[in-house]
Structure 1
């Protein structure tokens, strides 16, 4: 059976892949831990000069949090622990000494958008629409908010978070600064990702590390803020109305 999160290293490029197509690449708490741990492993590996984050399949990059797991949370503490998984991923991305390229081949929902926003350079397929759906089930994108706002600004984040049932297309995401390039087909997507990965891997590592730290210099408070936001989200996720919405979703 294929691992839900896999890692390959080739020619100084480390590729982290999410493999959960049966659930639209939604993330369980265990998968979040594995992603965070894999990022830490890549950060420590001197043979890796650049990182690519991608997912299996063609339709969905990441559907965010596993709604099935959310519907089984039995306490506020357990819910906070669940959403802290996104915090751990984003903090690992913040702490990286190497550039991260996002290969976004399909739609992005909820917490998946946080992973996209944590990448330094994002190349997306033309069908890679985005949506922050949290409000529609009774929670909010609080944990990923600092990362998304850092990338697209507060106004665009407000628009996205309030339009919880509406998609924004790849062109919108590029205009707002979330995507750097858009590919018209999957072959072009792979070519662009490989080209940028080779380019970034050739940069002097100390210069990359210094520049990346400068890019992320206003995020020191994330170590506290993201976990506080996880507690806020966890409490909302345990509300009766939210749990009813989640359970009804699986009865459809």
Structure 2
């Protein structure tokens, strides 16, 4: 079994320690973000922003190689209409909008 077939939607783990949430993500294709993984990351940011036990969020990739190759190339080339294109390109916007921001 290849790594890609084990985790086709990637992985996302969160550990909270000393008011710091560490989110670690991974995907077999150079830590690229497939739509499912982007949605899970946005949901995790939403949940952590409501958690009073978290003051800082650290986002890191799995492994020692590239941080993130960006959006999934396989999903990009599979786009066949405007609605699919909007959904694909809106994935990163959803994550950015979900990132909690507090200014002191």
- Find the structure with the greater CA-based Rg: 1
Q: How does 1:162-241 map to 2 (within 5 A)?
A: 209-211=102-104
The aligned length equals 97
Give the aligned partner of residue 40 of structure 1. Answer: 46
Q: Does 1:7 pair with 2:7? A: no
Counterpart selection for 1:69 from 71, 75, 80 = 75
Give the distance between the partners of 2:58 and 2:103, measured in 1 at CA.
20
Task: In structure 1, list runs of 5 or more residues that go unmatched.
Answer: 98-208, 212-252
Q: Per-residue displacement from partner, 1:155-196 (whole Å, max 9, x unpaired)?
A: xxxxxxxxxxxxxxxxxxxxxxxxxxxxxxxxxxxxxxxxxx
From the two aligned structures, give the one with the greater helix fraction. 1
TM-score (norm 1): 0.37
1:17-50 CA-partner distances (Å, limit 9, x unpaired): 1111x20000111111111111111111111111
- Distance (Å, rounded) in 2 between the aligned partners of 1:5 and 1:73: 25
Alpha-carbon distance, 1:210 to partner:
3.5
Residue 26 of structure 2 contacts residue 62 of structure 2 at CA under 8 Å; is this kept in 1?
A: yes
SS at match of 2:78: coil
| TM-score, normalised by the number of residues in structure 2 | 0.85
State the 4+ residue runs in structure 1 displaced beyond 4 angstroms.
Answer: none
**Root mean square deviation of aligned Cα:** 1.5
